[in-house]
A and B are shown apart, each in its own frame.
Chain A
Amino acid sequence: MLNNEQLLRYSSNLLMKEIGEVGQQRLLKSHVLIIGLGGLGCPASQYLASSGVGQITLVDHDTISLSNLQRQTLYSSDDIGLSKARQAGHSLSQLNPDIRITALEEQACEDNLDALIKQADLVLDCTDNRETRYLINHSCYRLNTPLVSAAARGFNGQIIALNPEHSHGCYQCLYPDNVNEPLNCSNAGIAGPVVGIMGASQALQAINYFTGHELNWGYLQTFNGLSQNWQQLSLPRTASCPVCGGKNARSS
């Protein structure tokens, strides 16, 4: 049963038939792991905290710098030099004291990912580099945990929801070469609202998943911030994929 404060706090969710009281109870029982608290992780975690996702684990080893403030909406000019995870945890607890937030000042890597992902119902990849993206993908497939991965650069955004129980391809199938991008946020720039839209879209998919709505698993969705166009491309599994193909395949 929701208490009086929850009935008010989540009233806009409760009014919708798509969420309602049953959906809100589900949100409150869910645990999301958010890896990376930059331009994607800030809006994603804000919407999930405000919507009442009961447990949120935040992971980031980085500190806040002045150039982050153009798009990382959880931080202010007074926070320069402070830990992103700790600051984000602090802001989100103030936003919603009704939920449990765990802030970890560590880098997601091979040694800690499995343990982190094991506790979560859903993972949001909000990181800023390819190496960590491959590791998260692999770990989610190993542990059979669904993953919503998003990225942005310039005016372009991408998002894909992956479910190891389904037969579509994985992040490794999408970008099989472990080459470093010639361009990234620090040398190519990034439009704040574009990365914000992608982070908000991750939060929306998480809410839809937790409240029992089917996601568009295995479709790469790309957003062009200049034309405002979304495009959708299906991602089939590569038979030879070392993560989801062949004997690693959980489903066919």
Chain B
Amino acid sequence: MRVQVNDKHFEITEKTNLSQLLSAQNIDTSAVAVAMNGQIIHREQWQQTELKDNDTITLVQAVAGG
């Protein structure tokens, strides 16, 4: 099945969770907010959030400047 992470598409296997996807993509998540289909998912829920076909993942880098 296919998921989208920001503007890139990825082919993943069934029963992949959000946590597995992020580590497989080598994403540094220390200052990043992660959203699935428009809703931010808190870190403690990444493991139990299973991905479905056509899910859209959005990574937002923390920004603090002004």
Which residues of A are in contact with B by a Cβ distance under 8 Å? 36, 38-41, 126-130, 133, 150-153, 156-158, 169, 173-177, 179, 181-182, 184-185, 188, 190, 195, 198-199, 220, 222, 231-236, 238, 240
Contacts and interface: CB of A to CB of B under 8 A. Distances in A.
A233 B65 CA distance: 20
A152 B65 contact: yes
A128 B40 contact: no
B47 to A, nearest CB: 15
B39 A128 contact: no
B63 to A, nearest CB: 4
Interface string B26-66: 00001101010011101110000000000000101111111
A31 to B, nearest CB: 21
Contacts of A127: 64, 66
Given A234-B40, A240-B44, A220 B66 contact: no
Given A130-B62, A234-B40, 7 more contacts: A152-B66, A153-B65, A173-B40, A176-B43, A181-B64, A188-B65, A198-B66
B5 to A, nearest CB: 14
B18 to A, nearest CB: 15
Contacts of A126: 66
B65 to A, nearest CB: 4
Nearest to B45: A238
B21 to A, nearest CB: 17
B30 A220 contact: no
B60 A220 contact: yes
Given A158-B60, A233-B39, A175 B66 contact: no
A245 B35 CA distance: 19
A222 B38 CA distance: 12
Q: Is the interface of A mostly helix, strand, loop or mixed?
A: mixed
A121 to B, nearest CB: 21
Contacts, number: 86
Contact of A151 (B42, B44, B58, B63): B63
A97 B60 CA distance: 41
25 contacts: A38-B66, A40-B66, A41-B66, A127-B64, A128-B64, A128-B65, A128-B66, A129-B64, A151-B63, A151-B65, A152-B65, A153-B65, A173-B42, A177-B31, A179-B31, A181-B63, A184-B65, A190-B65, A195-B65, A199-B66, A232-B38, A233-B38, A233-B40, A236-B42, A240-B44
A196 to B, nearest CB: 11
A174 B40 contact: yes
A36 B63 contact: no
